[in-house]
Chains A and B, each alone.
Chain A
Amino acid sequence: MRYIKKNMAVLVVMATMFVSCQKDEYTLPEAVKELTNDCIKRTIGPNIVSLPIEFAYAMAIPKSKGKLVSAQVEASIAGATGTYLEHRSFYTNTGGVDVPVTVGTPSSNDGKSTKVAFTVDTTAATLRYYYVIPEEARGQSVTFTFSATSSNGQTVSYKMGPYTIAKMGIKKNIAVSNGNLAYISIENMTAYTAAEAAANAGKVDLVYLYRATPASFTHALVSPGADASLLPGVTLPSGVNRSTKLRKVFNLQDRNLANLQFGIYVDDKDLQEVDLTDAPNYALGLRAEAGTWVETADKKYKAYIFVNAVNANGSAVISMLRYAL
């Protein structure tokens, strides 16, 4: 009896091992039988007011069941002007180029909804959705409900989000020039001439200037309140006297500021956390792709200014991200 028990135990263990080592049989995935959908968010990085968030919404139905009738997106906060759902479906050709195929009428916005009605007999499509972030969404969360309907009356939907919209604002490609558009306001995210600066004296935070000598000066952003030796030959408009803090950085080419080059993003958190307590009130020797953190004298704003391009004739193109404290 003992002998049988002992052998039984061994047999059970061996049987378990064999079973556990058996390969699972491959089964063919079942074809989709109903209307289905899927969605991905294509943009990465912070969601900034005035910039688009891009999605790709895919929907399909078996041919035997019917065809696609319409696609719709509903955002929790209505998109700004420029929000649209593509009425063309894209495929990638052998050259890697996305080729559009028109499948419906151009989308129409109705409040929070954006809709496309299909005009061709199709059972599958992927439509891009561009949501231009409105001012009302600043610092809020936004969600999206994508839905599609088919000719057999079926409806499917797909929820995306919530996505937090950054508090910071963006202004790209601000032209500045020595002695002309030289007075920069962080609050208004613009550059003024001397006459305009006098009219907005309380809002001028920086002076752009270019000096060929000394060699380390070149393109500079200097606070109106900085030492006179750092503002050679500059006569400040009356009332322009703020002392703004700056810290130079290099190799921080924000993708949004650098016109979609590079893969770095400056986010709200960076602007919240950068400590400029002991920073100087000037930044000399700026060059293309350099940048500088900024904090206004009244501590109302922090900003990141990126230098897009410089010109030896004494001009530059800058872009900025500005965060209200």
Chain B
Amino acid sequence: MIKYIKTILTLSMVTAVIISCQKDNVVDEDGLLITFRKECFVSNFELLGSDFITVRAIPPVIDTTAQTIDVTVLFGTDLKNVYPQFTLATDCKLDPKITGRTDLSDLANPKKYTVVSGDRKVRKEYTLKIKFQ
């Protein structure tokens, strides 16, 4: 009996050691740090033209409840070649990523961007609504 107990104890200790030595999954698929933050929102938005100068006519209206971003752009803005810039809550990331010049010319079908929280568990989809001045 004592022999069995000893064996079980030994096995339990080994298991405990193995589990405690396992690394926590601290980075996501993009190599970004996964934190404990649950905040998930857009704090600011900018839209630049092909010359990297703003094409916004007025400051953007960001509704974190309705999850919308309303942007009014200057007359004549070429929306096929713009650079959107999102400012997010700490540790958040954006999906899909913005990799360069973006086509936002389809005003009838506004583009949607998802903000993912620092702990990668909260996802909020924002609709980017653009209109001309």
Chain B residues within 8 Å of A, Cβ to Cβ: 49-53, 57, 74-78, 80-81, 103, 133
Contact = CB atoms under 8 A, between A and B. Distances in A.
Most-contacted residue by chain B among A220, A280, A290 (CB, 10 A): A280
Contact of A217 (B51, B76, B81): B76
Interface of A: 214, 216-217, 220, 230, 247-251, 278-280, 282, 284-285, 290
B50 A216 contact: no
Most-contacted residue by chain A among B49, B51, B57, B103 (CB, 10 A): B51
B51 A216 contact: no
A230 B74 CA distance: 13
A278 B50 contact: no
Contact of A247 (B76, B81, B103): B81
Contacts, number: 40
Contacts of A216: 57, 74-77, 133
B99 to A, nearest CB: 16
B50 A217 contact: no
Given A216-B133, A278-B80, A285 B52 contact: no
Contact of B81 (A220, A279, A282, A290): A279
Nearest to A282: B76
A212 to B, nearest CB: 13
B49 A248 contact: yes
B52 A230 contact: no
Most-contacted residue by chain A among B49, B74, B75, B103 (CB, 10 A): B75
A280 B50 CA distance: 11
A250 B52 contact: yes
When A and B form their complex, which 6 residue pairs have the shortest distance between CB atoms, in order from nearest? A216-B74, A250-B51, A284-B76, A280-B78, A248-B51, A214-B75
Nearest to B133: A214
Given A216-B57, A278-B81, A279-B81, A249 B76 contact: no
Contacts of B80: 278, 280
Contact of A285 (B74, B81, B103): B74
Contacts of B52: 250-251
